[in-house]
């Protein structure tokens, strides 16, 4: 940092009495995603090392300076204050050109990678944009699929998304990993958190770190799996009124939102071009052109990777 100091991160380790697999739980790659932090803390609080076979390590505030101001991105000093999305930096570079790249490289090379047989990087929606409870997971990788299916949440986004995200840095070095998404940013959604705690305890049992029967899984809640996420982008500025809710099923051609200018005139109407389920919605009522208003999770026979999701 400009002071010449590094950032510390908060590391908690539950080392079992017996050896076994090593799992890593991370949160705070984005600084405004508080339900992800609390999910990891709740799992760690339920662990009893005397009864464990293996190790679970938690890092709850990966992007420390972003958490300090509860904002998504890492503030750095370029030409004035700049903001860097840490989930585009992985695996980082210890000698990289920027502080966030070096921070990512140091964490990944010296803390995360050497201690992981599997990893789960918890997120939420972002400030101004709410999401459902779902997992982002490359379901074509059997070890990843087996974990993602163990969560009693309504949706899975079966997609490798893009390079630079932390869970893909793990996958690229042969460590199965995925990303849960736990509702809205900035708040603790205790109801959703409990679903992800239950799923994560299932994962620890699946790997033999914990003993005991599994809790509820995706099968029990009829999980909807889509391999694509259609972004519906604002074409105008104005106040947004949603006509559907998170998790609703929508048909192709269904109107999902309208937008009014400050005179109250309807300036745009938005329809979904696909059939699927609503997985994310803008929660800030005002929008300018280009902002995502909604994401529709759907299944495409041959996914082209063109769809993007802001995790
Ligand atoms: Zn995030």
Tens digit of pLDDT for each residue in 133-186? Answer: 999 999 999 999 999 999 999 999 999 998 999 999 999 999 999 999 999 999
| Contact of 25 with 200, CB cutoff 8 Å | yes
Distance (Å) from CA 132 to ligand 1 centroid: 13
- Per-residue pLDDT at 304: 62
Mean pLDDT of 72-87: 91
Q: State residue 215 phi and psi, 5-degree precision.
A: -80, -155
Distance (Å) from CA 272 to ligand 1 centroid: 25
Distance (Å) from CA 298 to ligand 1 centroid: 21
For CATH 3.40.630.10, the residue range(s) in the chain are 11-221
Distance (Å) from CA 122 to ligand 1 centroid: 7
88-95: which pairs have CB atoms within 8 A and are 24 or more residues apart?
A: 88/162, 88/164, 88/165, 89/164, 90/164, 90/165, 90/166, 90/168, 90/169, 91/169, 91/172, 91/173, 92/169
Distance (Å) from CA 27 to ligand 1 centroid: 8
Distance (Å) from CA 141 to ligand 1 centroid: 22
- Per-residue pLDDT at 302: 80
Distance (Å) from CA 193 to ligand 1 centroid: 15
Distance CA(267)–CA(216), nearest Å, equals 45
Mean pLDDT of 37-65: 98
- Per-residue pLDDT at 249: 98
Distance (Å) from CA 121 to ligand 1 centroid: 9
Distance (Å) from CA 120 to ligand 1 centroid: 13
In DSSP terms, 257 is beta-bridged to 242, 270
Write down the architecture of domain 11-221 according to CATH: 3-Layer(aba) Sandwich (3.40)
Look up residue 127 and give its two tokens. 């400030």
Bridge pairing between strands 53-59 and 74-78: unpaired
| Contact of 84 with 76, CB cutoff 8 Å | yes
Distance (Å) from CA 50 to ligand 1 centroid: 33
Distance (Å) from CA 180 to ligand 1 centroid: 9
- Nearest CA to 282 out of 248, 231, 236 is that of 231
Dihedral (CA of 147, 278, 31, 187) sign = negative
Look up residue 288 and give its two tokens. 């300018």
Distance (Å) from CA 90 to ligand 1 centroid: 13
Q: Is the model's pLDDT at 97 over the cut of 70?
A: yes
Q: Is the model's pLDDT at 78 over the cut of 90?
A: no
Q: What is the pTM of this model?
A: 0.96
| Contact of 12 with 47, CB cutoff 8 Å | no
Distance (Å) from CA 300 to ligand 1 centroid: 25
Distance (Å) from CA 85 to ligand 1 centroid: 9
CATH code reported for the domain at 227-298: 2.40.50.100
For CATH 2.40.50.100, the residue range(s) in the chain are 227-298
Task: State the average pLDDT for the chain.
Answer: 96
Distance (Å) from CA 208 to ligand 1 centroid: 28
Q: Is the model's pLDDT at 106 over the cut of 90?
A: yes
Distance (Å) from CA 137 to ligand 1 centroid: 14
Distance (Å) from CA 195 to ligand 1 centroid: 18
């Amino acid at each position: 940092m400009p002071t010449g100091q590094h950032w510390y991160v908060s590391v908690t380790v539950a080392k079992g009495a017996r050896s076994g697999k090593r799992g890593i739980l991370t949160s705070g790659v984005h600084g405004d995603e508080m339900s992800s932090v609390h999910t990891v803390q709740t799992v760690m609080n339920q662990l009893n090392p005397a009864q464990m076979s293996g190790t679970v390590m938690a890092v709850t505030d990966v992007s420390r300076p972003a958490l300090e101001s509860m904002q998504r991105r890492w503030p750095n000093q370029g030409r004035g204050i700049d903001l860097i999305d840490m989930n585009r930096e992985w695996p980082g570079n210890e000698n990289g050109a920027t502080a966030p790249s070096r921070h990512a490289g140091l964490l990944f090379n010296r803390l995360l990678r050497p201690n992981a047989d599997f990893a789960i990087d918890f997120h939420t929606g972002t400030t101004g944009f709410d999401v459902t409870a779902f997992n982002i997971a490359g379901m074509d990788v059997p070890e990843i699929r087996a974990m993602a299916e163990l969560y009693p949440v309504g949706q899975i986004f079966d997609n490798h998304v893009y390079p630079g995200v932390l869970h893909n840095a793990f996958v690229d070095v042969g460590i199965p990993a995925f990303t849960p998404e736990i509702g809205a940013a900035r708040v603790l959604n205790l109801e959703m958190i409990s679903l992800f705690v239950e799923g994560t305890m299932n994962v620890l049992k699946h790997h033999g770190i914990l003993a005991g029967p599994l809790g509820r899984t995706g099968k029990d809640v009829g999980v909807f799996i889509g391999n694509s996420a259609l972004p519906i982008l604002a074409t105008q500025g104005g106040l947004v009124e949603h006509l559907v809710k998170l998790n609703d099923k929508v048909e192709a051609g269904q109107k999902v939102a309208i937008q009014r200018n400050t005179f109250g005139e309807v300036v745009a109407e938005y329809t979904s071009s696909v059939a699927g389920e609503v997985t994310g919605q803008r929660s800030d009522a005002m929008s300018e052109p280009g902002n995502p208003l909604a994401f529709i999770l759907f299944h495409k026979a041959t996914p082209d990777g063109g769809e993007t999701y802001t995790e």
